[in-house]
Amino acid sequence: MKVLLIGEYSRLHNSLKEGLIKHGHEVLLVGTGDGFKNYPVDINIKPKIPEKSLLFFFEKIFFKLFKISLSQFESAFRFYKILHLLKGFDIVQLINENSISTHPKLEIWLLKKLISQNKKLFLLSCGTDFISVEYSNKNFFKYSILTPLKNNPSLKKHYIYVLKYITKRYKKLHEFVYSQIEGVISSDMDYHIPLVKHPKYLGLIPNPINIDKISFISNNLNSKIVIFHGINRLNYIKKGNAIFEEALEIIKEKYADKITILTSESLPYAEYIKMYESCHILLDQVYAYDQGYNALEAMARGKVVFTGAEKEWLDYYNLKENTVAINALPDANKISEKLEWLILNPKEIEKISINARAFIEKEHDYLSISSKYIDTWQTFTKEH
């Protein structure tokens, strides 16, 4: 099969591509690299405006006046220029409803052209989109990335890139995409749960992790326990970084002689991975039911990860609490208690570390996951 993957936010499409190629398929990945993270893509449509200080300054003024992003226009232009290369694919998969990262009307126009010159279109739900944001906005989750906003409406300016998905313009984009796709696939419980009853939902296929590229790192527990907290400043509130920082302050006061705390901020993907290599414990995110991609890669390396590990996730994978990952609740005291438990019981770090790697190998291996994608695409294509 010839497969075209549009968009990359986490390395999901890169690992899927690697698995598909191993299975003998031809794959092309198009995307922006997702800003400072700089994920690899085959054809890059990343806008250049943010890299040029004068143009970026002008764009910020233009956005304040007209609420229009010039970078999004540039992304559309760059995508349009490569459309002639994106023909004759058996499968096209979008990473998101807004995978070209341009204005909704332009996105629809470009997608129409893309659809007309290829065969089957599929969609991933692996990040914020209309259905997941609407579900969270209606408080169906006990907590979600919208929880800080619900608790403090003054944070609304920090949520413009999340709340845009439930505006009229993006709802129209959502409706158009769903009218064109064969079906939608979710990557984890945070996107699976809102989609369960949707007629176009094809089910959950876990994030693919290339375990051939990720080595397990044995924990050296003879010295201080190293805790790593990686901050993406753009998602600081939505990831619950302030809660992690509060928990770390509590732990520092009690166990300064037993721990080392490493902190990074908004690093490119390759530097981020290198930064946390030496840690035993990694603080990932708070407002989630399941693990995102960074957490899964860290678990593959044998890190004890504080992340989404809710009951729904435990039940889905038939796991017991605190055996594979630590559920990071939106409560600094509870997080600090879990950290204290690990500091005082380092053997638990060793056990969870080994379990985490085994879990990734069993449930997230990129070869078996890419096979699931192939089966889903082929089965659905034959049926329709």
Give the pLDDT confidence of 356-376 residue by residue, as tens digits: 999 999 999 999 999 999 999
State pLDDT tens for residues 106-116. Answer: 999 999 999 99
First to last CA, the chain: 17
At position 2, the amino acid (one-letter code) is K
The residue count for the chain: 384
pLDDT at position 270 is 84
Residue 33 pLDDT > 90, yes or no? no
pLDDT at position 240 is 96
Mean of the pLDDT values across residues 255-274? 91
Which one-letter DSSP state was computed for residue 50? G
Quick count: other Cβ atoms within 10 Å of Cβ 314?
19
Q: Which of 350, 236, 355, 357 minimizes the C-alpha distance to 296?
A: 357
* 246: Cα separation from own chain's centroid: 24
Domains of the chain: 2-208+365-383 (3.40.50.2000), 225-363 (3.40.50.2000)
Burial class (CB in 10 A: 0-12, 13-18, 19+), 361: middle
Higher pLDDT, 72 or 196: 196
- What is the pLDDT confidence band of residue 267, given thresholds at 50, 70 and 90? confident
- What is the pLDDT confidence band of residue 90, given thresholds at 50, 70 and 90? very high
E strand map for the chain:
2-6, 26-31, 43-44, 91-94, 120-125, 183-186, 201-204, 225-231, 259-265, 281-283, 304-307, 326-327
Residue 55 pLDDT > 90, yes or no? no
Which one-letter DSSP state was computed for residue 234? G
Residue 383 pLDDT > 60, yes or no? no
- What is the pLDDT confidence band of residue 331, given thresholds at 50, 70 and 90? very high
Instruction: Quote the CA–CA distance of 6 and 75 in Å, as a whole number.
Output: 13
Mean of the pLDDT values across residues 167-185? 98
- What is the pLDDT confidence band of residue 53, given thresholds at 50, 70 and 90? low
Q: Which of 178, 258, 265 minimizes the C-alpha distance to 222?
A: 258
